[in-house]
Structure 1
Amino acid sequence: MLTEISDIEKAGIRIKDRLFISPRCNIIMPYHKLLDKLYEEAKGPGKIGTTGRGIGPVYADKVSYNGIRIADLLDSEVFSEKLQTQLRVKNKILKALGAKPLSQSQIERDFAKYRTRIKPFVSETFSILNDAYDKKKNILMEGAQGVFLDNDFGTYPYVTASNVISGSASSGAGIAPAKVRSVIGVTKAYTTRVGAGPFPTELTNKLGDKLQTGGLEFGATTGRKRRCGWLDLELIRFAAKINGFTEICITKLDVLDNFPKIKICTHYRLNGRRIKYEDCDLKTLEKAKPVYKTYKGWMKSIKDAKNFRDLPKEAQIYLRDIEKMVGVEITYVSTGVKRNEIIKI
């Protein structure tokens, strides 16, 4: 985060009084990253493909009352006391897993620098957001990860440590659920996944490679190649229901420009019967067979399209069928990588 702040400031963008960090935020400590990697290595063939950034361990500490928060960092005495307590436990675990223990004095020196740098941005965000709402200002919140990385409703254990569905915005930001007016679901025109986990529509052939290359599909955090497959409407329908989508934005439609045939997964079947995502455990989802509807591709660039009517007929049919099968209106479609290459329907 401090690197991002520096990069933005170097670009000449003022962020003072524009960036606010909640004092309630839990801090990813050096031992969290180490433990994340050590836990993953210890699982052997049962690895889940963690990013190794310490997310799981910091959330584990949060819910087990062992977290160190931004508010603690700002008080050097409190920070030192809490760090001492945690290192009593964490260094024993690190040693048991074959790693060297961490030095409290070194961590305190490092975090003293962070304290100085971050302090100007720390502010109680609850008041900021609710005051903005009371003044009828627009508030835009963005989900941290995709729906199916949600800790409860995603493809557990191949998920993230937190809840990322729209309802989590209330608990995360401190905004009452009734105050949320609209929920925009964002999905690519095809499906991707980083790391391990079930992926019913995955294409492990040249078509998958074509999607990966054309869409520049690399993980934002790790740089790993994303797995790619056809659009999965079984997942989109579930996502629309659990999040309460009021509208949908389809991104990367242009990646499909050079596909003579395009498929959409309409639903799953297993052992001769139709099954829903919400009824699947991990083992069942891995066995589920996607049922496809095939579409004729448009085989031309759509990047110059300015409105829905400018899109090729085949692309219009593709989008309208998504709307019908999901039951939510598509209001935005991206047709290229530039900011202005987007259509509002």
Structure 2
Amino acid sequence: FSAQTKARADELVANLLAAFGKRIDKLDWMNEATKARAKAKLAGMKVGMGYPDAWIDYSGLQVTAGDALGNSQRAAEFEYQRKIARLGTPVEHVEWDLLPQEVNAMNLPLENRLIFPAAILEAPFFDPNADDAVNYGAIGTVIGHEISHSFDSSGALFDETGRLANWWTPEDFKSFEAACAALAAQYDQYRPFPDAAVNGKLTLGENIADVAGLSTAYDAYILSREGKPPVTLEGMTPDQRFFLGFAQAFRDKARDAALRNSLMTNVHSPGQYRTETVRNLDAWYAAFDVKPGQGRYLPPNKRVHVW
């Protein structure tokens, strides 16, 4: 994980945050006071990219070959004493709950902080040598997804400091809930089996983050081009490559039994339905010339835009 890769990823994050801020500005259902609080939360967001800025010092931990039980006991005691020593000291948001080797990303609402380990900054999500359009469609959507979790059906209940606080006007929150209900109803229609469907309420928070994340990633990609004319590569326009990058990142294959279990227990929609997020973006229809009557076409009034 090179410094060049980290710098490129940091640039992506900066563009995504700027794009999300512009999306807040354009919301027609939110008043200026609530927008100001939303933008304050966005401005206060902390992002960890690749690996922690500071590592835990384990030099005081004794590890002895052939003493598994003793090593375990000493490690537990070491961690206990390390945490006890922090009592009464200022809170520092520097430690990670994910290892750099984990292919994952995390939003910590109590800290208003995002974490992107080095392992997710690899193909198919990210390639520093790849086309910007593909990278924004893949890792850009992941970054946008995690940003959006701070404003989904759960994250929206926390303020810029991570406190559980109501920063909404009643009218704005009703509009937010109406958009959430429309998105839940949309996902309720996806049926991988005749007798089993996606649970729109169970997956709502993730679906909000998927729609807002993809929309924000697209906006950020357009901003990153700085008005430069689009360049067609291998017969595909930049917008087509953007959506291709998104689809490639979320492709998966599951046995029927695993898919049924996921429908009942997983807060994420199955991968094949996460890619259906594109149906809510006007840009996707233009990119692939999707017309009324075609299978994935949604009328403009049915396309859900929460953020």
Larger strand fraction of residues: 1
The normalised TM-score by structure 1 is 0.23
The normalised TM-score by structure 2 is 0.25
* Greater RCO (CA < 8 Å, at least 6 residues apart): 2
Larger helix fraction of residues: 2
**Higher alpha-carbon Rg:** 1
